Amino acid sequence: MSPTVFRLKGYRFFFFSREEVRMHVHVLASDGEAKYWLEPRIELARNHRLSDRQLKEIEQLIGAHHDELKRAWKKHFSG
């Protein structure tokens, strides 16, 4: 299961249900994907074929929606 938190600017922000416990989000684009840690700070964990420009845009979107992502993580993984 990989619930979508939101879609924005051509990116899908989502979680994998059975993965590691450190808070993070996956981001899927038409041409690649990335994984970002959400705590203790926003940080790129893994990148597959996304450009530096895309990574910068994604990081800004995560920053703007950081609280929403953390709430969704806690809600999804608490049950």
Residues 6 or more apart from 76 whose CB is under 8 A from it? 3, 15, 17
Q: Is the pTM of this model over 0.85?
A: yes
pLDDT reported for residue 20? 87
Mean confidence (pLDDT) of the chain:
95
Contact, 50 vs 29, CB < 8 A? Answer: yes
pLDDT value at 19 more than 90: no
- For residue 31 the two structure tokens come to 């041409």
Beta strand pairing call for 11-14 and 43-48: unpaired
Q: What is the pLDDT of residues 30-58, one digit of tens each?
A: 999 999 999 999 999 999 999 999 999 99
Classified as helix, coil or strand, 54 is helix
- Please state the domain extents for the chain: 4-78
